[in-house]
Structure 1
Amino acid sequence: MSLVCRATTVAAFGLLTVMVPAARAVVAVPSIYEGGFVGELRLYKVRHGESLIEIARKFDLGYNGIRDANRGVDPILPKPGTVVTIPSAWIPPTAWERPCIVVNLAELRLFYFPHRGDGIITFPIGIGDEGTDTPVGRFVITEKIVNPYWHVPESIRRKRPQLPAVVAPGARNPLGRHALRLSRPDILIHGTNRPWGIGRRSSHGCLRLYSEDIANLFEMAQKGMPVWVINQPVKIGAKGGRIFVEFHCQSSDTVGVGDILQLMADRGMLHLIDMGKLVRAYYENKGYPVEITWNERK
């Protein structure tokens, strides 16, 4: 399956998804499709003077993705010559309708699902910080804006009174050059003038993309298109008797190994899982698909 720079395009997939029944989640019945996961993992040798943040930008990843895949590597001053994992493989979340956009807050990533039969395109994002969390739910795109003005919320001006009421388009505007307004008017999908905030909880509720990524998404997205915002820290892919799991668990997430085992048992697939591999993947929490298939089936 092919990957392209900046907009990662992947072909049809199959997955079994776990929706977390918590207040922050959009709950849905899990589905199973053939295909397992999309994309591929890569290896990269760190060059002199590179940080993981710069490497993430090079491969269109967010800070969280490169950090989680390479625990133990200094993200600011990695040793030159260190071989790091480029986590450019994903189990996409469920798309309940097409075309649509699905944002998974747990992995800080946006997925664009075009009409059936076309490839999926995915981008890293920045999301709302604690206390200004990005809301979950189903929304629609109501407006496409080029060179948006930033109307500074009163909550931000109270903390930063030096800011004007309105910031014109330009280098100082945190919305970048493109914005998509959702049916909840205070939430935008937009660019950024602070690319290091991608892959972090770095906004006041909006969804931020690299400037080149929002330009691509802006061309594909249309008014009226559904946008699903979910919080799905665990995803499971299945293909040809092989099982893959992808964890993006934080301390506040309640999903655990037991939930996954129950889900697999309900679908008659428990015999396919290696318990040791599942537990190890859970604790390592690397943020990319890991195979947990029981291999001793002869």
Structure 2
Amino acid sequence: MIPQSRRTLLLGAAAALATPSLALAQADIRGSGATRRNISSFERIEWRDHFDSLGVATIIADTNSRALHYWSGDGADYRLYPTSVPRTDELTRRGYTQIVRKKVGPTWTPTASMRAEDPSLPEFMPAGAGNPLGTHAMYLDWPAYLIHGTHDTRKIGRRSSSGCIGLYNEKIAELFAITPIGTQVKLL
């Protein structure tokens, strides 16, 4: 018998433990129906469960799985993005809305409740590296609710916002480019 190093033994054990999970994830991707989750644990969502048509485009932001789903108006383009979501249910607005305005290099004015919670917040912040709205913002028809980027990448995948849906800056730039004004949005 050939002696194995500790490293070889650990790597072999890790690979053996991962194999069933990888096989199940690949089966799910192929549509086995065994589960309704992909390998990243985002829940698969069907737009037809929420809207009668795709309209000019459709976004569903799922605060439970912390994912944003995008469909183009013709249904040919589907994209899935990891997001940050509101810290608490009290900060979470759910329901139907739409994109009413888009801005590259958004400025930020904290709400009165944000400043009451954290008096050190500035009254206004110009666009730039320290701005919590990141590089791009899409405004909803609900006041003070946005889909925007973030410079703080640690926030993605977490309950970390004051009500908005946040994406990595490179992902919000991609979504911003393909999302027309009037896109219907639902927050779950």
TM-score, length of structure 1 as denominator length: 0.47
The residue aligned with 1:116 is: 74
Instruction: Choose the corresponding residue for 1:181, options 122, 139, 143.
Output: 139
Q: 1:183 to 1:169 in 2, by over 3 A?
A: same
Distance 2:107 2:30 in 1: 36
Mark the runs of 5 or more structure 2 residues left unpaired by the alignment. Answer: 1-26, 32-36
Q: 1:121 to 1:163 in 2, by over 3 A?
A: same
CA RMSD of aligned residues (A): 2.5
Equivalent residues of 1:128, 1:205 under 8 A apart = yes
Equivalenced residues, count:
152
The residue aligned with 2:47 is: 94
Equivalent residues of 1:38, 1:90 under 8 A apart = no
Specify the code of the residue in structure 2 equivalent to 1:173: N
- Tell which deviates more after alignment, 136-145 or 90-99: 90-99
Question: Percent of counterpart pairs with the same letter?
Answer: 34
Mark the runs of 5 or more structure 1 residues left unpaired by the alignment. Answer: 1-35, 41-68, 70-84, 231-298
The residue aligned with 2:103 is: 145
Q: 1:178 to 1:133 in 2, by over 3 A?
A: same
The residue aligned with 2:165 is: 207
Q: 1:89 to 1:127 in 2, by over 3 A?
A: closer
Distance 1:117 1:228 in 2: 17
Distance 1:172 1:130 in 2: 24
- Report the CA distance between 1:93 and its aligned residue: 3.4
Residue 160 (str. 1) matches residue 113 (str. 2): no
When you count helix as a share of all residues, which structure comes out higher? 2
Measured against aligned partners, the alpha-carbon deviations of 1:197-219 in whole angstroms (never above 9, x if no partner) come to 11111000000000111000000
SS in 1 for 2:64: helix
Instruction: Choose the corresponding residue for 2:153, options 183, 195, 206.
Output: 195
Equivalent residues of 1:192, 1:211 under 8 A apart = yes
TM-score, length of structure 2 as denominator length: 0.73
